[in-house]
């Protein structure tokens, strides 16, 4: 298994992709091809534990890691760090609607699913391709990634980590989690601006030849813990495949039954992981991309025009307050037939003018699999309250956005297939938004 840049034909191993984080041309690494799960492989996966499934699936993507290395990474990540050692349980809330709870880790957010594993994968990768170097991890966060990355990398030998977050763009709990992080190798910096400003700044540092040369003089190298790093993405593929196996195991689905996946997303990484699971053979019918008031992805999925030149809103679902969705670049590469030159052209337009338009052919390919919708603040509050009152289920604002957009999709299309909805954070991380929504006294 090799990985290529979305903007050129640069090709690397999985260890090189994870160690570098981002390609030298500014592109993102994607698999040269996708492993396909045979019927026999699925039959073996269904009775397995989450850790067993993770080891098997990671071995398909990380072919230059040994069995022992993958085993050590997975055991370290998923043993004792998640409630009841069940990292991704399912909760059936309504008929034909299952929530994939991804927030049972140490920071109560879905980012733990990858960021408990990535530091382990990264240290193995560095030992293979950058032996002896200290890795400097740069992270831009809209809230949850920062704390999960700090927690995962704290005091990991051979690493330093710097997290940049928007001072006024995260919840009080998210900020408190970050600025109180222990660890001799961690640093946190609040910036004036929003997540897009932080992400743009981090990418600029990665692309700065002088900075890379300065680090090299001190036997250091940059890497990333954001979802631009494939090492962040592949653990997310695991939990979608695992959820499908659990749906079969519990009788909610038959082996070839098609179902829909609904994801609240701003940076497009979490929903892209589900798309990758489909490329492996998971029978997903429609990907429902749920946005909050910052609905740049909704507009793109409907029109084929990506335009970040719009008002930015601070919402009750801050992890989705994003106008530049980095992982969309990977999807564009795949649906354009691997046209790195075209992807590079679109990304240059986004950088210079803040917008680009894909061809009708590319737009139609995306629309054949993706539905985009958004949920405003009032609908978010109403959905939290309804789920609590009618179903006795307490959800956070991000999950509420996904539930509301799924309901919009079902109403518009009449599609009643089982929906797997990614629940991305604990309600208790967003108490100021959740409490008024459920308080009826």
169 close to 194: Cβ distance less than 8 angstroms: yes
55 is catalytic: no
Q: Residue 162, class by beta-carbon neighbours within 10 Å (0-12 exposed, 13-18 middle, 19+ buried)?
A: middle
**Active-site residue among 44, 55, 95, 111?**
111
Instruction: Check: CB of residue 204 under 8 Å from CB of residue 16.
Output: no
Burial class (CB in 10 A: 0-12, 13-18, 19+), 81: middle
Per the structure block, which two tokens stand in for 396?
A: 């956070």
CA angle 11, 68, 183 (to 5 degrees): 80
User: How is residue 190 written in tokens?
Assistant: 């609040």
φ, ψ of residue 436 to 5 degrees: the values are -65, -25
> What is the C-alpha to C-alpha distance for residues 362 and 331, in angstroms, rounded to an integer?
10
* Cα separation, 89 vs 77, whole angstroms: 16
Nearest to 196 by CA among 347, 346, 322, 294: 322
Distances (CA, A) of 100 to 95, 264, 358: 14, 12, 32
134: DSSP letter: E
Sign of the torsion angle spanned by Cα atoms 404, 409, 415, 421 = negative
**CA separation for the pair 157, 123 (Å, rounded):** 8
Residues labelled as active-site residues? 111
């Amino acid at each position: 298994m090799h990985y290529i840049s979305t903007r050129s034909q640069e090709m690397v191993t999985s260890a090189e992709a994870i160690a570098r984080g981002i390609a030298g041309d500014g592109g993102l690494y994607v698999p040269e091809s996708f492993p396909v799960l045979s019927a026999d492989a699925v039959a073996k996966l269904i009775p397995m534990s989450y850790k067993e499934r993770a080891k098997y699936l990671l071995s398909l993507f990380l072919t230059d890691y040994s069995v022992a290395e993958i085993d050590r990474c997975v055991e370290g990540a998923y043993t004792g760090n998640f409630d009841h050692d069940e990292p991704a349980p399912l909760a059936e809330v309504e008929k034909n609607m299952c929530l994939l709870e991804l927030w049972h880790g140490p920071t109560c957010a879905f980012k733990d699913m990858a960021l408990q594993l990535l530091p382990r994968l990264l240290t193995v990768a560095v030992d293979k391709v950058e032996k002896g170097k200290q890795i400097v991890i740069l992270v831009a966060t809209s809230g949850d990634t920062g704390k999960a990355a700090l927690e995962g990398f704290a005091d990991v030998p051979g690493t330093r980590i710097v997290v940049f977050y928007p001072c006024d763009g995260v919840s009080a709990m998210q900020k408190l989690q970050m600025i109180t992080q222990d660890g001799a190798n961690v640093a946190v910096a609040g910036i004036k601006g929003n997540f897009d400003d932080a992400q743009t700044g981090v990418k600029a540092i990665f692309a700065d030849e002088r900075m890379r040369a300065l680090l090299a003089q001190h036997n250091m190298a940059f890497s990333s813990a954001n979802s631009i790093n494939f090492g962040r993405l592949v653990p997310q593929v695991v939990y979608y495949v695992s959820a499908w196996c659990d749906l079969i195991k519990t009788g909610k689905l038959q082996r070839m039954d098609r179902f829909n996946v609904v994801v609240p997303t701003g940076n497009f990484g979490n929903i892209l992981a589900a798309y990758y699971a489909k490329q492996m053979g998971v029978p997903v019918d429609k990907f429902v991309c749920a946005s909050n008031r910052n609905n740049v992805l909704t507009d793109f999925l409907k029109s084929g025009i990506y335009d970040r030149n719009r008002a930015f809103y601070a919402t009750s679902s801050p992890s989705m307050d994003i106008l530049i969705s980095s992982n969309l670049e990977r999807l564009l590469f795949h649906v354009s037939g691997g046209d790195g030159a075209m992807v590079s052209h679109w990304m240059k337009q986004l950088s210079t003018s803040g917008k680009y338009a894909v061809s009708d052919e590319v737009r139609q390919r995306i629309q054949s699999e993706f539905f985009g919708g958004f949920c405003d603040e009032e609908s978010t509050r109403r959905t939290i309250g309804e789920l609590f009152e009618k179903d006795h289920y307490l959800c956070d604002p991000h999950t509420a956005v996904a539930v509301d957009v799924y309901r919009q999709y079902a109403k518009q299309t009449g599609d009643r297939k089982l929906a797997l909805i990614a629940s991305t954070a604990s309600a208790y991380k967003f108490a100021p938004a959740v409490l008024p929504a459920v308080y009826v006294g």
